[in-house]
Chain A
Amino acid sequence: MKILVPVKRVVDYNIKPRVKADGSGVETAGVKMSMNPFDEIAVEEAVRLREKGAASEVVVVSVGVQQAQDTLRTAMAMGADRAILVLSDESPEPLAVAKVLKKLVEKEEPSLVILGKQAIDDDMNATGQMLAGFLGWGQGTFASKVELVDGRARVSREVDGGTEEVSLSLPAIITADLRLNEPRYASLPNIMKAKKKPLETVQAADLGVDMTPRLSVVSVAEPAERKAGIKLDSVAELVEKLRNEAKVI
């Protein structure tokens, strides 16, 4: 059984993002980029399934710029077997990515696609669901536990107020939530080995997918800064301010 894991190259989670001076977006030039943390969880889950013998091959794919191959190498250092890089412009939209993935699924015929539930840069939370829609497959989103039993995937979903269990027939789509697992470190020997694993590069256009953005960004702004607090001398003064200034009591 083959598992396909799409991964996205995003601004590293340790970096404080900075809005460009002209408000057109977030500065990415020279900024450290890494694998989307939810995608790391997806890779880890797929590799664990293979290590348990429930899967035979883990293929990782990324849609984006040439440098996304670093992200794919990281995924292979974590244990993925091979990688596909679909070259396109920077930050393709979820709809286009889902269309690319559909083409790859038709070619690779995996039994399971595991994705991160969302990317930490645009927080869209859409690619997995759209792909499920295109393929007509069942989906287990926000997964905190995955078990493969009798040809079905049993997925615990993190929903408001608790956990929901769903049972999916394969092939299926799973999107990984934070608690699914704790991803491993890519060890130095495995990073060295990953350099020799196969990485295939294809052009998005060659897959016949229109990558033209459908959304336009009007403006991007940083949240307003918190104003400094003031010190008051008495409870009476606090009550007075809450009543007459803040008007909350």
Chain B
Amino acid sequence: MSEPVRESMEFDVVIVGGGPAGLAAAIRLRQLSPDISVCLIEKGSEIGAHIVSGAVIEPRSLTELLPDWRERGAPLNTPVTAEDMLYLTRSSSLRVPMLDRFMPHMANHGNYVVSLGEVCRWLAAQAEELGVEIYPGFAGADVLIEENRVVGVVTGDMGVGRDGQPGPNYQPGMELRARYTLFGEGCRGSLTKKVMAHYDLRQGVDAQTYGLGIKEVWEIPAEKHRPGLVQHSFGWPLDNNTYGGAWLYHFGENLVSYGFVIGLDYANPWLSPFDEMQRVKLHPAFRKHLEGGRRIAYGARALSEGGLQSLPRLTFPGGALIGDSAGFLNVPKIKGTHTAMKSGMLAAEAVAEALKAERPEPAAFTDKVRRSWLWQELRGARNIRPAFARFGARGGAVYAALDAMVLRGRAPWTLHFQHKDNETLKPASACEKPAYPKPDGTLTFDRLSSVFLSATNHEEDQPVHLHLRNPSLWKTVNWDVFHAPEARYCPAGVYEVADEDTAPRLQINAQNCVHCKTCDIKDPTQNIDWTTPEGGGGPNYPAGM
């Protein structure tokens, strides 16, 4: 196919990704100077369509960005009123006492239970009011690099057929050229990957480690609803060496956010994060909240759990990485919204200065981060997630309490991550298969009925957006050694083994993909490459997510 003729447009700043980081950056840029032209693209069909988060958020960054957010009607309507941290065994639960002393990170006084998708839609409205141009439905497909400087991105072509040839409705992508480009694609961004590789941004830092979060929204009977109740759990059903736990938040009008996060450094290839998530609902401590309700939404997304040790170099000639694309999540707090927003705001300030001084690299971003509360916060939290990786769930919890009460985050040492998440699986033959209960159709469900609720759709006639770099590796590694772990870790049923008994082969149902990026992270040889499908494809998460 010959090179298409692309239209091109120039902006001062192009932002890839309409999450909290990108939107906060856009708003801050226009606050600093209404002369800065800002264009933001989002691969979801609308802002918020691909946002999945718990979410209990800390309003700190929002207050710094838009001090009058209450008057502007920000959808932070459910303050946290009560909270429990539970250690689960198979049939009972122990409440962690004096949470604010043993696990001060988990204390949520002053925070709000929100739908992050709704918060993003609201932030987008604020940004548009300030003159930011927002284009949902357009994916960043490639990075433009000229003379070793990032000069913008190319949006994806539309209307390309399954065979890679332009169809009757073909529309070539557009070059969005910018003096500075900010990548706020969230965890494991596909363009972020390219930029990191091109500028070797991960040199000298720990490998990133990830988690996979799977979420459902439930509508429950009014008499059971306790707005602002926040419950977290660890322990059962995960073994001591697997990091993860469940959340349950009462919010909004009779809504409950339920979900489960699991560290993607788990070892057992038979483990299925989706089935773990389903079976926690059968535990009495969770069942009692959900019984009598109905599930109304479903979604999943990977998150970065490496924290400070895994932060890459943040800037490069022509731009910066912000939010979870860089990895600003505070893991012990299990919160990334306030840190993502803060990183976006600081990047905006650095970019505005660089624009004025005509410096190619907004390098001041790194100094600004180091001098802000964001750095202090991540520094104080830096040892907790690696302690869990090293000492297991119970040892990690003891370390976390010790860190909180004695060391107060100021330990003279820094624990490091020793493995990449794709290296931690053990051979299937060396591991035990968990016995997952069959879905009951009222509390627990299968993958396909779940994906249905995510309202996921991709134009059918387009190239498959999940590539195997080396197709032959699937049989010798994924199948022969690990027995196709992708069929279990994928929360959307994208990966299926066909003809299992005769000539097993991998079938990729790319149309189901909810864009969580887990396969790009966890595949044992990193053989799966997640690229952006046609813009507007993927989930359409409703309000509440």
> CB within 8 Å of B: which residues of A?
12, 14-16, 18, 21, 29-32, 182, 184-185, 187-189, 191-192, 228
Contact = CB atoms under 8 A, between A and B. Distances in A.
Contact of B540 (A15, A29, A189, A191): A15
Contacts of B7: 188-189
B527 interface: no
Contact of B174 (A21, A182, A187): A187
B544 interface: yes
Interface stretch (B81-89, B314-322, B451-459, B488-496): B451-459
Nearest to A70: B46
B49 A32 contact: yes
A226 to B, nearest CB: 10
B422 interface: no
Please name the 9 residue pairs, one residue from A and one from B, whose CB atoms are nearest each other, closest first. A30-B543, A185-B158, A187-B171, A14-B457, A188-B174, A189-B7, A14-B455, A185-B171, A15-B455
B135 A188 contact: yes
Given A16-B455, A184-B169, A31 B138 contact: no
Given A21-B219, A187-B174, A188-B135, A29 B455 contact: no
A16 B115 CA distance: 19
Contacts of B118: 30
B540 A187 contact: no
A23 to B, nearest CB: 13
A153 to B, nearest CB: 24
A12 B254 CA distance: 24
Given A30-B542, A30-B544, A32-B45, 10 more contacts: A14-B457, A15-B455, A18-B296, A30-B121, A32-B49, A32-B455, A32-B540, A185-B169, A188-B174, A192-B9
B278 interface: no
B36 to A, nearest CB: 18
Contacts of B168: 182
Interface in B112-152: 115, 117-118, 121, 133, 135, 138
A99 to B, nearest CB: 32
A189 B171 CA distance: 10
A32 B46 CA distance: 8
A197 to B, nearest CB: 16
A182 B168 CA distance: 9
B130 to A, nearest CB: 16
Contacts of A12: 45, 455, 540
Contacts of B254: 21
A14 B454 CA distance: 9
A29 B219 CA distance: 15
A189 B9 CA distance: 8
B327 interface: no
A contact face: mostly helix, strand, loop, or mixed: loop
Given A16-B455, A32-B45, A32-B49, A182 B169 contact: yes
A191 B171 CA distance: 13
A188 B174 CA distance: 7
B542 A15 contact: yes
B542 A32 contact: yes
Nearest to B254: A21
A31 B542 contact: yes
B412 interface: no
A199 to B, nearest CB: 16
B542 A187 contact: no
A188 B11 CA distance: 14
Nearest to B172: A187
B155 interface: yes
Interface in B154-168: 155, 158-159, 168
Interface in B426-481: 441, 452-453, 455-457
Contact of A29 (B49, B155, B543): B543
A185 B461 CA distance: 14
Contacts of A192: 9, 133
A187 B5 CA distance: 13
Nearest to B173: A188
13 contacts: A15-B455, A15-B542, A16-B452, A30-B543, A31-B542, A31-B543, A32-B46, A185-B171, A187-B158, A187-B174, A188-B155, A189-B174, A228-B441
Contacts of A228: 441
B294 to A, nearest CB: 9
Contacts of B441: 228
A18 B452 CA distance: 13
A187 B135 CA distance: 11
Contacts of B171: 184-185, 187
A189 B5 CA distance: 13
A116 to B, nearest CB: 19
* Max count, chain B CB within 10 A of own CB: residue among A187, A191, A192: A187
A12 B541 CA distance: 12
Given A32-B542, A182-B168, A182-B169, A188 B49 contact: no
A149 to B, nearest CB: 24
Contacts of B155: 188
A32 B455 CA distance: 10
A213 to B, nearest CB: 25
A221 to B, nearest CB: 13
A16 B455 CA distance: 7
Most buried by A among B296, B441, B456, B542: B542
A228 B173 CA distance: 46
Interface centre among A15, A30, A187, A228 (most CB of B within 10 A): A30
Interface string B250-274: 0000100000000000000000000
A24 to B, nearest CB: 14
B453 A16 contact: yes
A188 B542 contact: no
B135 A185 contact: no
Interface in B2-20: 7, 9
Which residue, B49, B118, B171, has most C-beta atoms of chain A within 10 A? B171
A36 to B, nearest CB: 16
B487 to A, nearest CB: 24
A215 to B, nearest CB: 27
A59 to B, nearest CB: 24
Contacts of B9: 189, 192
Contacts of B159: 185
A51 B121 CA distance: 36
B356 to A, nearest CB: 27
A14 B169 contact: no
A205 B160 CA distance: 46
Nearest to A190: B171
A189 B155 CA distance: 11
